[in-house]
Chain A
């Protein structure tokens, strides 16, 4: 029994702090303590994750969830995102007036869902934790309660519900064919079944495709990306930041786990989904990058850019499909890319939160002359955009080299060529922002300053991005040990 508490200690901690925040918010008028509680909760939870690190993967709750390094890696990533987003919202929450407690509580609750999601090894828990995180996120997206934000929330809710339905249907089909919802049991069934019998099971493949489609919504892959720009634009910017990294990372984690654990063998089936994902990856990054070029709103621009980044990540996913069972480079490549993307994108969003909140505009034109009005914020944003482009000396370049080298290893050279050409397109619109900040004349001479929590968060992101770009060894080792659970 104690084991159960031990294994879910991070989630329980976060839950406890979420409830404490709601209570404190009720009885205290000092709202400043709320973000502190949220950060402390997330830090303690991270501490538990670190303590659990290194133990052998152990399944608990009747094989519903597992504690392994893969899951812990993502939990740490999600918690880091929570902490950074809370720091970045320090000033932004004033917009929510008296609902600050609910905001932090919902943020923590959604992170519980995501944390359970990345350690789920059963289709049922996967679905439940997905809904747990989504419902908090629906509320968070419409938190500004103005027209745009409400529209975004409604859109996210409706499309999210459709995606959930699709996912559930796919899971039902998989269950119907294999007679089981636990991932390893599905794998056992597929291994035992004779190949010719499996080939005559189009229903199973349909189920698999529907599951991929359901998570395609979460990771914003084409053709399930329609919600991204509107939701990103309408949602409160810190929530957008959170959506673009934590939700996406968890989506990739769970899709990786399902595909590799349940559908990793036999060969034909992982080759099957490998091809599907390779094609989707090519479409996703090309669509994201091409549409991003014409954007004038920076949140929409980063929305499309996050679609494009999902495309690069899917290159890694596709390579896993092509991979023989033991390709470690591919798997750790995906994790390292997610790590780099999370910090880079958060860094970019933190700078945007700081700037936009003070100039009250998300238009790229209004970023003109930021290099003069807020040199350090502009420098931080520039660094993150450089990393998103994949240029040195940042983690973005190493991540791209790493994930693409895995793909080339699996013979996906055509996909890598499409991806590198896409990087060139992306340079155009990322540098459009850079150009506006450093080159255009400022619209006013008023300086733009950020609060210290924003500074702290931005500095953390930038420093890690540069360190991981110059000496990536330790971070890659971290990703490698997390990816070990799928074979050496």
Chain B
């Protein structure tokens, strides 16, 4: 029984965008309903895959729902898709965010036809990255993501949108330029492009070329994640992007970096990863603390959330390069939960901005009276972000830190972890301070008329809350699967 479910998941949005592109002069309503139908269909199929996923012990280390067709014979490249415990949560995350980002954009007025085409193409490309098992295919999807995001920022963005879009374009292209060189070198050294075959492959090459290969691949992922010195594109892109693009950017796009690191850098070159882990962990810790410290000083709501992403992605990097099974699982779960939590935070910022037309903390105060629902949901997102027990944020951070602390593969992990944990304290600081400044305090007269969330907005934000709570209360729904995905990788390192 092969229904090519993964292809459907990836290409249902493409079908949607073709329909949108081909119907002549569609109304705004038609366009958004088609977009919603396409993303919802993709989400439902991905849920089906989630339910049908084989969770038995025999399935550990194997790809499921595989599809493999020869694609470019000359370089032995296949159209090869598959899903395992590592990619499944991220796939669900993306299809979920696809649906809610269409809902978030429900009121879009400017060129809705083009807008939804780009959103759908973005969804396809990110899903393709998570599900590809062939390096050329992976790279194709990786690059494909660039164009929709560029247009989303530069056309529907605000503020310094041109600067932000170009910065995003150039940063990403620099990363993928190195990655392309890395992928081609990989092919040259190993003679295969199959990602599953590359995991734990014996590479009879000496240390220095392999280190070079490691960095060629990892720089691209590090820019995407983003890792500390390469993070400066992120606040600009986030601040100026339209809300839905921010949600997808923070929610799923950054995870391409973390996913790539685990799937390629660590799986393919475990020994090199162990060797450079202290460097990466140092960058992670610097990112956590620096990101959090800078967040404290932000007065623009969106920029604040953006910098908090830099800090939280530091946890992911720490979890990955602590290199034991628990920390890798923690990092994977952190990617998922950060995707949902920060997605929700950006959605809420978007709502607040829609109603008040400002994102400046100094101009906001006492909004709890005008918008009680938004206040509650925003607070839940904030509390999840600072890792309150009962939310997805807590579980993910706890597993990450517990794993990293107890890692025996890398020396000095307890020290790195202890420093990184201070990030949690700082997070509590900036989140609570932000909530207090925006929603509590003296109500301002000028916001007397502003309304609360409407039905569509409630649906999209409550959907987020459900997921956050579900994973927070019953984490095994994901951790079982994630463990299946990271166990074989951890075995390669011996952690």
Residues of A within 8 A of B (CB): 328-329, 332, 386, 391-393, 397-398, 400-402, 404-405, 408-409, 413, 416-417, 420-421, 423-424, 427-428, 431, 435, 438-439, 471-473, 476-477, 480
- B146/A423 in contact, CB under 8 A: no
Nearest-neighbor residue (CB-CB) of A398 within chain B: B72
Contact between A413 and B136 (Cβ–Cβ < 8 Å)?
A: no
B155 partner residues in chain A, CB cutoff 8 A: 438-439
A431 touching B169, Cβ below 8 Å: yes
How far is it, in angstroms, between the C-alpha of A102 and the C-alpha of B72 when the chains are bound? Answer: 44
Tell me, yes or no, whether B466 is within 8 Å of chain A by CB: no
How many cross-chain pairs have Cβ atoms below 8 Å apart between A and B?
88
Q: How far does the alpha carbon of A431 sit from the alpha carbon of B166 in the complex, in Å?
A: 9
Contact yes or no, A435 B185, CB < 8 A:
no
CA distance A239 to B380 in the complex (A): 64
Partner of A408, one of B174, B178, B187: B187
Q: Does B188 contact A (CB under 8 A)?
A: yes
What are the residues of chain B within 8 A of A393 when measuring CB–CB? 140, 144
Q: Is B201 part of the binding interface, using a Cβ–Cβ cutoff of 8 Å?
A: no
Q: Are A401 and B181 in contact (CB under 8 A)?
A: no
Q: Which B residues, 137 to 194, have Cβ-Cβ distances below 8 Å to chain A?
A: 139-141, 143-144, 146-147, 150-151, 154-155, 162, 166, 169-170, 173-174, 177-178, 180-181, 184-185, 187-188
A413-B144 Cα distance, complex, nearest whole Å: 24
Q: Among the listed B140, B177, B187, which residue makes an inter-chain contact with A397, where contact means beta carbons less than 8 Å apart?
A: B140
Chain B residues, CB < 8 A from A386: 147
Which secondary structure dominates where chain A touches chain B? Answer: helix
Distance of A52 Cα from B157 Cα, bound (Å)? 56
Chain B residues within 8 Å of chain A by Cβ, number: 32
- Chain A residues within an 8 Å CB radius of B143: 391-392, 397
Residue B419 interfacial (CB < 8 Å):
no
Q: Which of B74, B75, B177, B188 contacts A420 (CB 8 A)?
A: B177
**Given A329-B75, A424-B173, A405 and B140 touching (CB < 8 A)?**
no
Smallest distance from the beta carbon of A282 to chain B beta carbons, Å? 14
CA distance A476 to B72 in the complex (A): 8
Q: Contacts A404-B184, A405-B75, A420-B181 known; list 5 others, CB within 8 Å.
A: A329-B75, A401-B75, A417-B181, A427-B169, A473-B71
* A477 CA to B73 CA, complexed, in Å: 8
Given contacts A386-B147, A416-B181, contact A427 B74 (CB under 8 A): no
Select from chain B the residue with minimum beta-carbon distance to A472.
B72
- Check if A421 sits within 8 Å of B184, measured CB to CB: no
CB contacts (< 8 Å) of A473 on chain B: these are: 70-73
Contacting residues of chain B (351-403) with chain A, CB-CB under 8 angstroms: none
> Across the two chains, which residue of chain B brings its CB closest to A329?
B74
**Could you say which of A398, A400, A405, A417 contacts B187, with CB atoms under 8 Å apart?**
A405
A392 near B75 with CB under 8 A, answer no
Can you name 10 A-B pairs with beta carbons within 8 Å?
A391-B147, A393-B140, A402-B75, A416-B181, A420-B180, A421-B174, A423-B177, A428-B169, A438-B151, A439-B155
Per-residue 0/1 for B89-118: is the Cβ within 8 Å of any A Cβ (1 yes, 0 no)? 000000000000000000000000000000
What are the 10 A-B residue pairs with the smallest beta carbon separation, nearest first?
A420-B177, A408-B184, A424-B173, A392-B144, A392-B140, A476-B74, A405-B184, A408-B188, A392-B143, A417-B181
Q: Please name all residues of chain B whose beta carbon is closer than 8 Å to the beta carbon of A392 when the two chains form the complex.
A: 140-141, 143-144
Closest residue on chain A to residue B135 by CB atoms = A401
| Complex Cα gap A332–B173 (Å) | 26
List B contacts of A404 (CB < 8 A): 180-181, 184
A392 to B73 Cα, complex, angstroms? 19
Whether B177 pairs with A421 at a CB distance below 8 angstroms is yes
What A residues does B185 contact at CB under 8 A?
408, 413
Q: Are B188 and A409 in contact (CB under 8 A)?
A: yes
With A392-B144, A420-B178 as known contacts, state yes or no: A401 contacts B151, CB within 8 Å.
no
Measured CB to CB, the nearest residue on chain A to B144 is A392
